[in-house]
Structure 1
Amino acid sequence: MPIRDIPPADVAQWLADGAIFVDVREDHERASGQAEGTQGVAKALLLAEPTRHLPDRDAAIVLICQKGGRSMDAARALEAAGYTRLASVTGGTSRWQEEGRPTVRPDLPAEAVDFNERYSRHLLLQEVGVEGQRRLEGSRVLMIGAGGLGSPAAFYLAAAGVGHLRIADDDVVDRSNLQRQILHTEARIGAPKVASAQATLGALNPRTQVEAVQTRVTSENVEQLLEGVDVVLDGADNFPVRYLLNDACVKLRIPLVYGAVQRFEGQVSVFDAGRHRGEQPCYRCLFPEPPPPEFAPNCAEAGVLGVLPGVIGLLQATEVVKLLLGIGEPLSGRLLQFDALAMRFRETRLRHDPECVVCAKGRDFPGYIDYAAFCRAG
């Protein structure tokens, strides 16, 4: 008997005749509702051990998924395994619900319901799935700066489900920040930026723990700030902090996601020399010495297009998520430059400097220096 492709309206008759109704979607997909009368068995589990779930190969079996594709694929696989009376629901659960047919929700703990609903679009991605999402929830990220770059990055890292965000910034909210620092509001002018960030992100995703650290990053506290973190996101707007973060991340073998903006241009890279000595560059390989101050003014001096930090911060957040999940190709050894006026990206390959004072293979860590004086001298 060939596989039948049936509309939802025909399912009732099949069930009345004794058919077994199986929803082959993943557990997290069924959490928002499944057709009444179904038993849930994910497609992979069903096909791995079909006789465990469907012992009678001659029984009538109706399969349903979200749109109809997976259920038909499962039906074909079952047919090849010797099952003789198979049907797949056309349009799947989506059509079933559109037609107003009865659905039920599995009895799950509130935490599981929140997890499945909140991260449903991640869970559908094979590269993320439940395992990857749990990995994000178990991760810890240090963000230096709750300003222009930190604002969009923090929003999306919290939304993505990073379990612990440690945000370090010693500044307070100023009205001039609001043009680009979207974590903050008019009502929080004068409040510590980290407290403002904590309030905003807590309202977005209470599952993410936001640790607010109102402090300036120094050689004395940098290793304490980096303790236990998986990735560092650099949202600083000054060279001394960038060099300090680079050196600490090389020493502690933590990947550093770098970003910088000025006027209408920005750049992003990943520096992971600590874990890849002699193979990948660090920030000092790109900038052995800081440029003179007159050639590198900060945003307060040179100005910045308000939307530009949003673009660069989101690129940084993307790199952080990729690093945490271990997917894709990170920007290690590549500098991605963005020109907002021309709407153009340009990529430059970066090489490891075998004579780098910090990340050269076999070289001991030289120790922290007076970074402010080093940058003034540059």
Structure 2
Amino acid sequence: MSIEEIDPRQVRERLARGARFIDVREEHERAGGQAEGSLGIARAELEAEPALHLPDREVEVVLICQRGARSLAAARALSAQGYARLASVAGGTSRWLEEGLPAFEPVLDEDRRDFNERYSRHLLLPEVGAAGQRRLERARVLLIGAGGLGSPSAYYLVAAGVGRLRIVDDDVVDRSNLQRQILHGEARIDLPKVDSAQATLSALNPRTRIEPVRERVTAANVDALMQDVDVVLDGADNFPVRYLLNDACIRHGKPLVYGAVQRFEGQASVFDAGRHRGRCPCYRCLFPEPPSPEFAPNCAEAGVLGVVPGIVGLVQAAEVLKLLLGIGDTLAGRLLHFDALAMRFRETRLRADPDCPLCAPGRPFPGYIDYQRFCAGGS
């Protein structure tokens, strides 16, 4: 069936004879101005349950969107469901406003207005939209470390609208941190990092609930820290915590977003063996044993260019958002290397170790070990 396209000035005539006039844009789009006489019903909602909004299939229906494409597609969908008298406004709301036709701004409560304004650029993305943004608001992320990797990650996760961020760090702010740990400032030297992070992030987005936990991550508390979270972001700076997080994520079936930096280089990956045994590798598949300390000095010993953890931390934040939204291809099964001096990224494919002591299919969880001793070369 061919759908009739009409000029905006023809709508009033259709309304006078009893037509239903529906704006199929999303709520955040309608907030900028809606054609007078129209009822706002998002296209997906209208197409999912048309009889709820249009019980009479013989009624004349006029649809409008931003420029005319979505309303035309919605009209075709309604036609396929038995509606016969359909029209789409050519040029949509943009043309309506250009021609000076009467419009109004829908009345929204403060929470909905804040949501629409704050996340307007996300809401324009079909891969996110209102449903995806609400999913982010329901999400809970565990962030280990409020330092070089955790700072940029936390900034962008909170800005993106993650609903709850549990930050675990037992350290205090030191002046040497400020070259890269951008959550903190001069006035917060000697304050707990988690308290400094909470102050910064709450000021950025009060919609996100920040849970500061001033503790060192150990085998004694890691299970409690994992409770009710969807994704774990590893911003730690030492091997014992990385191995512990890997093992705990396998035990609890949580994806682990990994990052590490040194000097002018960094790397990132996603270890999702807890949910995909035998298909996705874990951290132990990559590093069955920790490198000796002389081959893996930390940033305090080897130094780090301040922007490197910023870049790697943003990669981690992007991976967390993709996992929460269920979009794109994550770094699971891939190790991303970044070299700042060459300004080059390269990728290494990772495979699950069928004999991995932690993530091999069918292998029961062996329990936590003494990770300090393990990383020091003990048995």
Common topology (TM > 0.5) = yes
Counterpart in 1 of 2:159? 159
Q: Secondary structure at the match of 2:266?
A: strand
Distance 2:85 2:168 in 1: 63
Counterpart in 1 of 2:371? 371
Q: Secondary structure at the match of 1:377?
A: coil
Q: Does 1:70 align with 2:90?
A: no
Write the letter of the residue equivalent to 2:39: Q
Counterpart in 2 of 1:240? 240
The 5-angstrom pairing of residues 125-164 of structure 1 reads 125-164=125-164
User: For each residue in 1:327-366, what CA deviation from the matched residue of structure 2 results, as whole angstroms up to 9, or x when unmatched?
Assistant: 2222111111112222222111112222222222333323
TM-score using structure 2 length: 0.87
Counterpart in 2 of 1:202? 202
Q: Does 1:362 align with 2:362?
A: yes
Contact preservation (8 Å) 2:143, 2:150: yes
Distance 1:45 1:230 in 2: 28
Contact preservation (8 Å) 1:62, 1:89: no
Contact preservation (8 Å) 1:192, 1:214: yes
- How many residue pairs match? The answer is 374
Q: Secondary structure at the match of 1:269?
A: strand
Contact preservation (8 Å) 1:149, 1:235: yes
User: For each residue in 1:275-317, what CA deviation from the matched residue of structure 2 results, as whole angstroms up to 9, or x when unmatched?
Assistant: 2223321111111111111111111222212221121111111
* Deviation (angstroms), 1:190: 1.8
Distance 2:350 2:69 in 1: 45
Contact preservation (8 Å) 1:65, 1:71: yes
Q: Which runs of 5+ in 2 are unaligned?
A: none
Distance 2:373 2:3 in 1: 79
Distance 1:364 1:84 in 2: 62
Contact preservation (8 Å) 2:3, 2:75: no
The 5-angstrom pairing of residues 190-269 of structure 1 reads 190-269=190-269
* Deviation (angstroms), 1:239: 0.9
**Quick one: structure 1 residues 194 and 89, their matched pair in 2 at CA, closer, same or farther if it must change by over 3 Å?**
same
Counterpart in 2 of 1:308? 308
Between 1:185-194 and 1:48-57, the stretch displaced more is 48-57
* Deviation (angstroms), 1:369: 2.1
Contact preservation (8 Å) 2:3, 2:72: no
**Quick one: structure 1 residues 85 and 146, their matched pair in 2 at CA, closer, same or farther if it must change by over 3 Å?**
closer
Q: Percent identity?
A: 68
Distance 2:134 2:46 in 1: 24
Between 1:312-321 and 1:124-133, the stretch displaced more is 124-133
* Deviation (angstroms), 1:236: 0.5
Counterpart in 2 of 1:323? 323
Counterpart in 1 of 2:282? 282
The 5-angstrom pairing of residues 96-135 of structure 1 reads 96-97=96-97, 102-135=102-135
* Deviation (angstroms), 1:245: 0.9
Q: Secondary structure at the match of 1:141?
A: strand
Write the letter of the residue equivalent to 2:309: P
**Quick one: structure 1 residues 74 and 16, their matched pair in 2 at CA, closer, same or farther if it must change by over 3 Å?**
closer
Q: Secondary structure at the match of 1:353?
A: coil
Q: Does 1:88 align with 2:82?
A: no
**Please, what is the CA RMSD of the aligned residues?**
2.8
Counterpart in 1 of 2:54? 53
* Deviation (angstroms), 1:229: 1.3
Distance 2:84 2:281 in 1: 57
Write the letter of the residue equivalent to 1:112: R
Distance 2:280 2:6 in 1: 54
Distance 1:191 1:97 in 2: 53
Contact preservation (8 Å) 2:20, 2:59: no
Distance 2:136 2:52 in 1: 35
* Deviation (angstroms), 1:71: 2.8
Q: Secondary structure at the match of 1:171?
A: coil
Contact preservation (8 Å) 2:271, 2:280: yes
Q: Secondary structure at the match of 2:310?
A: helix
Distance 1:182 1:126 in 2: 31
Contact preservation (8 Å) 2:57, 2:83: no
Q: Which runs of 5+ in 1 are unaligned?
A: none
User: For each residue in 1:36-83, what CA deviation from the matched residue of structure 2 results, as whole angstroms up to 9, or x when unmatched?
Assistant: 332223334545638953958685x65431233223444566688675
TM-score using structure 1 length: 0.88
Distance 2:242 2:86 in 1: 66
* Deviation (angstroms), 1:87: 5.0
Contact preservation (8 Å) 1:142, 1:225: yes
Q: Secondary structure at the match of 2:353?
A: coil
* Deviation (angstroms), 1:274: 1.8
* Deviation (angstroms), 1:205: 1.3
**Quick one: structure 1 residues 275 and 32, their matched pair in 2 at CA, closer, same or farther if it must change by over 3 Å?**
same
Between 1:38-47 and 1:214-223, the stretch displaced more is 38-47
User: For each residue in 1:63-108, what CA deviation from the matched residue of structure 2 results, as whole angstroms up to 9, or x when unmatched?
Assistant: 4312332234445666886756845242x33455567765323233
* Deviation (angstroms), 1:164: 1.0
